[in-house]
Chain A
Amino acid sequence: MSPLRFTKDHEWIRLDGDLAVVGITDYAQSQLGDVVYVELPEIGRQVERGKEAAVVESVKAASEVYAPVSGEVAEVNNALAADPAKVNADPMGEGWFLKLRLADPKELEGLLDEEAYQRFVEEQH
């Protein structure tokens, strides 16, 4: 399993075979509060790096989830429809949002590694 990468919008991405799994970070879920609904894209949709790929809603806020890299949506986490709380309980694991078939794997290199992301989060305070 490849290392985790992060964006400044608090998404994480990790290669799993030839697909990349995308979710939101623990920091993001704690800022949002209890997640009540997740709007996931259709399979086959083309997403662009930095553009909206999904929407995550809590009681008081709705946030766009941006694609960390460009690609095609290969799978979405349908379990979130019945149990959006997974995003809060296990944001880095069972709370994953979608899997992308990468258009350009080199785009991963432009993202933050874990250390850089932690520093970024600390600077937010």
Chain B
Amino acid sequence: MNDWSRAVSARQADDSASSETFTGNHGLQIEEALIFEQDSPGHCGVDLPELEPFRSRLGGLERQGTIGLPGLSEPQVVRHFTRLSQKNYAIDAGLYPLGSCTMKHNPRLNEKLARLPGLADIHPLQPVSTVPGALELIDTLAHWLKTLTGMPAIALSPAAGAHGELCGIMSIRAALEARGDRRIRVLVPESAHGTNPATAAACGYTVDPIPADATGRVDRAALEAKLSPNVAALMLTNPNTCGLFEREIIEIADAVHRAGAFFYCDGANFNAIVGRVRPADLGIDCMHLNLHKTFSTPHGGGGPGSGPVSLSASLAPFAPLPWIVHGPDGLELIEHKTGPAEKSFGRLKGFHGQMGMFVRALAYMMSHGSDGLRQVAEDAVLNANYLRARLADDLSLSFHGSCMHEVLFDDRFLKDTGVTTLDFAKALIDEGYHPMTMYFPLIVHGAMLIEPTETESKASLDQFIGAVKALAAAARSGDTARFRAAPVHTPRRRLDETAAARKPVLRWRPDPQPEGGNKPLSTLQGREGGARRVAAGG
């Protein structure tokens, strides 16, 4: 029996969560069909003027038949997406304690400035003379990021953190190839985020995992034992994924360099040290930053992000295109492997990078200033340690001593309760919180990684602490039914992920599929008989 079927049994025993309404709606929570099920052929949410006849130049390759898109009016569309939005948790709605994600407040000033026509309505291929302000903005952002990291160069084009990792490792490989040095191994701690080994493999490297020591930090002896002329790089996250600062990082950097390898740092956790530590001072050769973590650009339900990579002097010549450099007549955009960029390893994506995120990040940094950014790190670390101290007796802390901006617990406190980390997280949802990061990092069992960020007030933290304490007590006192059934107060209960993976349904199709067993929609939406219209639709 899997978790889902246990939950069904639990629900059947528990009536209070399902006082059914006639519509299936619950107050402000509306059951909303797919746009394809609300099709009014001939309807349109835009007005388009009539077209004069003209001679087509498509060479007879006109699209025949319909595309299959539904027609809706603007009111229907607005209502549809408004209703969808109401099913989402968000930072705007509450604390989002996801470890390593840095779910801080997303300032709206950033949104306003990103939409200025002079920044949003400019084309990457306009004559460069018509966009000097864009180059200025990018160069200003670069200056801020270089100063904060202490590194002499920065590659701004990567579109996300993982993309930035690719950029860093590609730069390293390009540098090694340029000096005729063929090394094929990359060292990656076992606690690392999955993108690290995936990136190394994507760049043609073999990955050697390094275990953690008893303090949760990378095992330096094991690491040094693996260094050899065959190792191209170490990929280290600092602070690491257990929320701990790698104390021996300078010694490790020295060892890596003595072995002729490069030191890549995953900067996902930069929020803990921004303004207080510069990666360059730790011996790092390249480090990616996540503008959508440390620098507040919005997560947008999964993207877009931006992952610029700071580079040492030895890696800078290989940085991907395009480059923005200070020329004799001002800022220049270099789009090809010429001049200073002749050794660039090439392009990672189209055009110039995530300009929309650059604007937002710069506005954020300017709003905080160097003093404010330093305060960000301090408050982030203080908030995480406050949670650590207040919850240490209720949950099981994985490692002793203070943490940085996030704190790691594991599931030992749930031993013999019949409640898993997953169950605990689902119960936390019912208490009004998005769960913390679960089952990561892999080096502890049933991990729970909590990162509050600096934009949570003490009152908000105290409320969260209260909820977690109550749940921990409930688990210990044997109230397993609560955990197994959870969540019960959400737009959907636990979903059958097994069925989703066994028989993938990845798109809407016009013909109704025969469903075995469970009805896919609530009874009011009359799926039987193949009806596509929804009676209660918008």
User: So, do A and B actually touch in the complex, CB under 8 Å?
Assistant: yes
Please, which residue of chain A has its CB at the minimum distance from the CB of B422? A60
Contacts of B2 in A (CB 8 A): 33-34
Q: Whole-angstrom distance between the alpha carbons of A87 and B204 in the complex?
A: 34
Most buried by A among B2, B439, B497, B498: B498
Complex CA–CA separation, A96 to B498 (angstroms): 20
| Residues 12-53 (chain A) with a chain B CB within 8 angstroms | 33-34, 36-37
Bound complex: CA A28 to CA B2 (Å):
15
Instruction: For the complex, give the distance between the alpha carbons of A60 and B439 in Å.
Output: 10
The distance in angstroms between the C-alpha atoms of A58 and B502, with both chains bound, is 9
Contact mask for chain B residues 491-505; partner A; CB cutoff 8 A; 1 contact, 0 none: 000000110011000
- Residues on A with C-beta less than 8 A from B501 are 36-37, 57, 59
Residues of B within 8 A of A36 (CB): 498, 501-502
Within 8 A of A (CB), among B33-82: none
Interface residues in A, total, Cβ within 8 A: 10
- Number of B residues contacting the other chain (C-beta, 8 Å)? 6
Complex: how many Å from CA A34 to CA B501?
10
Contacts of A34 in B (CB 8 A): 2, 498, 502
B502 proximity list for chain A (CB < 8 A): 34, 36-37, 84-85
Q: How far, in angstroms, from A64 to B439 measured CA to CA in the complex?
A: 20
A84 to B499, CA, bound (A): 11
C-alpha gap A85/B498 in the complex (Å): 10
CA distance in complex: A85, B5 (Å): 15
Closest chain A CB from B265 CB (angstroms): 28
Bound Cα distance from A1 to B206, whole angstroms:
42
Determine the residue in chain B with the shortest Cβ distance to A36: B501
* A14 → chain B closest CB, angstroms: 27
A31–chain B nearest beta-carbon distance, Å: 13
Q: Which residues of B290-329 are within 8 A (CB) of A?
A: none
Closest-CB distance, B517 to chain A (whole angstroms): 14
Q: How far is the CB of A63 from chain B (nearest CB, A)?
A: 14
Task: List B contacts of A37 (CB < 8 A).
Answer: 501-502
Q: Give bound CA distance, A34 to B5, whole Å.
A: 12
CB distance from A7 to the nearest CB of B (A): 21
Residues of A within 8 A of B497 (CB): 59
Which residue of chain B has the shortest Cβ distance to A85 in the bound complex? B502
B476-504: which residues lie under 8 A (CB-CB) from chain A?
A: 497-498, 501-502
Q: Which of B2, B439, B502 has the most CB of A within 10 A?
A: B502
Please report the C-alpha to C-alpha distance between residue A60 and residue B498 in the assembled complex, in whole angstroms.
9
Chain B positions within 8 Å of A33 at CB level: 2, 498
List A contacts of B439 (CB < 8 A).
Answer: 60
Q: In the bound complex, how far is the Cα of B2 from the Cα of A36, in angstroms? A: 13
Taken together as a complex, chains A and B put the C-alpha atoms of A36 and B497 apart, in Å, by 9
A-contact bits for B501-520, CB 8 A (1 contact / 0 none): 11000000000000000000
On chain B, the residues within 8 Å of A60 by CB distance are 439
- How far apart are the CA atoms of A116 and B82 in the complex, in Å? 60
> A34 vs B533: C-alpha distance in the bound complex, in angstroms?
35
Q: List 12 A-B contacts (CB under 8 A).
A: A33-B2, A33-B498, A34-B2, A34-B498, A36-B501, A36-B502, A37-B501, A37-B502, A59-B497, A59-B501, A84-B502, A85-B502
Q: Beyond the given A37-B501, A58-B498, A59-B497, could you list 15 further A-B residue pairs with CB under 8 A, ordered by the A residue number?
A: A33-B2, A33-B498, A34-B2, A34-B498, A34-B502, A36-B498, A36-B501, A36-B502, A37-B502, A57-B501, A59-B498, A59-B501, A60-B439, A84-B502, A85-B502
